[in-house]
Structure 1
Amino acid sequence: MSDIGDSDISDSETSEEDEQLIIMQEARMKNQNYLEEVVPEYSNEVFFEHFRLSREVVNTIAERYEATPEFHRDSGPYGDIGALNQVLIYLWYIGHQTASFRDVGDRFNVTISTVHRIIRRLTYFLSNLSSEIILWPNDDGKRISEEHFSQKGFPNVIGAIDGCHIKIDKPQNDPDSYINRKGYYSIQMQAVCDHRRKILDVFIGYPGSVHDSRVFRNSPLQNSLDMKCGRYFLLGDSGYPLQNKLMTPFKDR
């Protein structure tokens, strides 16, 4: 009886292991064809959910990337990795906060070193585009933004300013200064956005423990705000100082 019981347990464990192996193999087969067969079948809505940009914008980025010295056609187990697929790999990585290089490599069936090269190249490429993409609005742009903010009860406003924390690994130098109020390591990014949430100005680099008001005081925007806004204003939360061109909340007493 003991032998029979041991045999049943052994058979059960073997069966569970076989099922797990089948599941892993099916997942790997799916990932092998993810870019070639799965992604093209996504609806526009599902595509946006996964990659955070529309297909049109992604294709435009890929075309520009392919025409630059930063682009190199990497090779994977199933052939070359072209510009479009590299952009998709990059967008997946930056759009999923908890994704590691290994996670991305498994999903797209590429090596970790390939993922690292793609992330590095595309980060450099996109950084070089910032000067022609992140622009303060001209007079027409200000007027259009003002109309939209006015409809929401904020006349003469063309944008809003705020800070956000970009999570980083523990720095080697002065790590405590990078711990933000939520308890993780980060660097500060200050951004101004218009009514469409398009970034008009960005300033980045201060440690996570630094307050928004200090980041603002040390940013180039502090000294150029009057000139940039003209007769208009920006909105900011209570973390920012009230200024001629920067409106912050006040208590109705």
Structure 2
Amino acid sequence: MKKRGGNKINLRKVPKKKHRMADSEIYNVGIKKGTCISRKTAVSILYKAALVLLRCDSDTESESEEENDDEFLYHLSKYDELIAIICAQDEIKNHKNYIENILQTYTEEKFRYRFRLSSEVFASIVDMFGKSDTYIALRADKRLTAKTYVAVFLWFAGDDKCNFRVLANRFKLSISSISRIIDRVTFFLSSLSSKTISWPTKQKKIETSEFFSEMGFSKAIGCIDCARIAIDTPADRKHNFIDTEGQSTICVQGICDENKKFLDVFVGYPGSCRDKLVFQNSVIYKQLPTNCKNFYLLGDSAYPCLENLITPYNDNERLTRIQKKFNIKHSYARMSIDNAFGMLKQRFRQLYHCKLKGTQKLCHFIMACCVLHNIADENDLQFVYEIN
């Protein structure tokens, strides 16, 4: 096969039988009529389709590698019409009336996958934001709908690969508008932390202690641990944010109950800080005796053992059988805090590596995600899955 002028390929006829085989392969790998797929998926499918056509020619050997490459490009070019359809579908998904038109067509399952919350919780957040001073202070003739604000924020928070440019293309807004939207919703949700993230009442403490008593800790009302959120390295004090794994991170200390809901969140210390140091500088450290009274928290060996904070025995290879058994039960009882952080990151995947700039904005964004975690229903996550 010879090339004519630049990158153009001299096309030749291909038997209809081979086209039918390729079309069949396309349907097998995922394209169906009327469906919307991403460009990455489209490239993968087209690549497979071209390989199928090449396999159809396996009975005739190519004279050279260059001829084989031309053959592959030829088969790939036969699906220009399919590429045009995919691009058209992509434009539909990025329509300027996405909120009004496209969002309404989502099923509950797809809605929870995209926005990481149920449509009912989404509507309640939109209602709260629409009545907030943050939204009312905006010019009525210029501001976007409250639904757009919340949708942009949740799309960003729920996708670890999302950035401002992607959001601008999706919602047909400028990058600067996307930045302002995320800032406003972030600070609004963070301001709700005093209401949604609060210490349990006396009755709630009794109910929680009954749950932990089944594991051998009759006075436990929660678990404490520290997680680290990967961030872009700040311009100043770079070395302070490097953790033990060599990543730039920021510390998030959380206390949760048996339902994996946060009772207290303390965020802001650099990733290089030890859990003990973060705890001793947190607000809850001095308030622990007053808040817990006759109850206590469960923490790992990184924390100091206090009257209101029970930690496991240090494993110095000389533990007795009873001490080892205590550590096993202690570790099992503390699983709720590990699960809470795991659910938080799985729901709001931007926390795997947050792309926001500025320590203050990062802290408020993390707090906002914790607020949404407490508002959301745990059962929402059964619909949050990754599509291959």
TM-score where L is the length of structure 1: 0.85
Instruction: State the Cα deviation string for residues 91-111 of structure 1 (Å, max 9, x = none).
Output: 121122221112223333333
Change (3 A) 1:194 1:75: farther
Distance 2:100 2:133 in 1: 25
1:163 CA drift (Å): 1.1
1:190 CA drift (Å): 0.7
Structure 1: runs of 5+ lacking an equivalent: none
Change (3 A) 1:183 1:222: same
1:228 CA drift (Å): 0.6
- Contact between 1:52 and 1:95, CA under 8 Å: does it hold in 2? yes
For this pair of structures, how many residues does the alignment match? Answer: 250
Which one has a bigger Cα radius of gyration?
2
Following superposition of structure 1 onto structure 2, how do residues 70-89 of structure 1 map, counting pairs within 5 Å?
70-71=134-135, 72=138, 81-89=144-152
Distance 1:114 1:190 in 2: 32
- Contact between 1:186 and 1:208, CA under 8 Å: does it hold in 2? yes
2:251 aligned with 1:248, yes or no? no
Distance 2:242 2:78 in 1: 48
- Contact between 1:188 and 1:206, CA under 8 Å: does it hold in 2? yes
- Contact between 1:74 and 1:82, CA under 8 Å: does it hold in 2? no
2:252 aligned with 1:189, yes or no? yes
Instruction: State the Cα deviation string for residues 21-68 of structure 1 (Å, max 9, x = none).
Output: 432231121232643344334444443333232323222221111112
- Residue 299 of structure 2: aligned partner: 236
Following superposition of structure 1 onto structure 2, how do residues 83-162 of structure 1 map, counting pairs within 5 Å?
83-162=146-225
Following superposition of structure 1 onto structure 2, how do residues 43-82 of structure 1 map, counting pairs within 5 Å?
43-71=107-135, 72=138, 81-82=144-145
Helix, strand or coil: the match of 1:7?
Answer: coil
Change (3 A) 1:36 1:182: farther
Helix, strand or coil: the match of 1:188?
Answer: strand
1:6 CA drift (Å): 4.3
Helix, strand or coil: the match of 2:192?
Answer: helix
Distance 1:163 1:106 in 2: 36
RMSD in angstroms over aligned alpha carbons? 2.8
Runs of 4+ aligned structure 1 residues displaced above 6 Å come to: 73-76
Distance 1:3 1:135 in 2: 71
Instruction: State the Cα deviation string for residues 179-205 of structure 1 (Å, max 9, x = none).
Output: 122332121111111112221111111
1:235 CA drift (Å): 1.1
Identity %: 36
Moved more, 234-243 or 10-19: 10-19
2:10 aligned with 1:7, yes or no? yes
Helix, strand or coil: the match of 1:114?
Answer: helix
* Greater relative contact order, per chain length (Cα 8 Å cut-off, separation 6+): 2
Instruction: State the Cα deviation string for residues 107-134 of structure 1 (Å, max 9, x = none).
Output: 3333322211110101111122222222
2:266 aligned with 1:218, yes or no? no
- Contact between 1:235 and 1:247, CA under 8 Å: does it hold in 2? yes
Instruction: State the Cα deviation string for residues 196-249 of structure 1 (Å, max 9, x = none).
Output: 222111111110111111100111111111111111111112221211111122
- Contact between 1:73 and 1:83, CA under 8 Å: does it hold in 2? no
